[in-house]
Amino acid sequence: MRYFLDTEFSETGPSHPIELISIGIVCQDGREYYAESGEFRPGLCNKWVKENVLPRLGPVEQMKSLSLIKEEVRAFIGDGKPEFWGYYSAYDWVVFAQMFGTMMDLPKGWPMYCRDVKQLCDDLGNPKLPEQGKGEHHSLSDARWNRDAYEFLMGNYPRKAYTP
């Protein structure tokens, strides 16, 4: 099953670890998951995050612990061999995997990597992707757009054979 994910996170350099702010996941079967962490430190967020991400969050009372988010994500994805996709997803994948501990702690059958829609786009000649519109920098809206961008690419551009 294919899952499109996005996270919003706080990242201020090597002296502070990446902290999950929110996560959105959209499954190819139409199910969606969204949660906001109550464990990130807003005071450590950089100016860009404070201006572009924090205003899109819901009330503090709805925020969840990372351990609860981890369990809900595990239940949402379930068993099997999921395929994860993101957009410029390197940091998204790190903060996603950190919820489970180390990469080695990801659930059995889950890959240790996330596929990237931007890399797919580049492989296909870097065509212009559809505009996202409203909701940018809200992790669920971004996860939906990741799915839409993937479907646009797969539906409109033939896959090139990989030759090293």
* pLDDT score of 164 more than 70: no
* pLDDT score of 131: 92
User: How many H helices and E strands in the chain?
Assistant: 5, 5
Homologous superfamily in CATH for domain 2-156: Ribonuclease H-like superfamily/Ribonuclease H (3.30.420.10)
Asked if 151 and 130 count as a contact pair (C-beta separation under 8 A), the reply is no
What confidence score (pLDDT) does residue 28 get?
96
Please say whether the beta carbons of 3 and 147 come within 8 A.
Answer: no
Task: Report the distance separating Cα 30 and Cα 38, nearest Å.
Answer: 26
The DSSP string of 39-57 is -S-GGGS-HHHHHHTGGG-
Q: Tens digits of per-residue pLDDT, 89-104?
A: 999 999 999 999 988 9
- pLDDT at position 14: 83
162 pLDDT band (50/70/90 cuts)? very low
Whole-model pTM over 0.85: yes
pLDDT digit string, tens, across residues 5-56: 999 999 888 887 899 999 999 999 999 999 999 999 999 999 999 999 999 9
Residue of higher predicted confidence among 37 and 132: 37
Structure-token pair, residue 127: 């065509």
Confidence band of 163 (pLDDT split at 50, 70, 90): very low
Q: What's the mean pLDDT when you consider all of the chain?
A: 92
Nearest in space to 1 (alpha carbons), one of 85, 113, 73, 96: 85
**Which strands form 115-116's sheet, in the order they lie side by side?**
32-36, 19-27, 2-10, 83-86, 115-116
Q: Could you state, in order of their start, the residue ranges of all structural domains in the chain?
A: 2-156
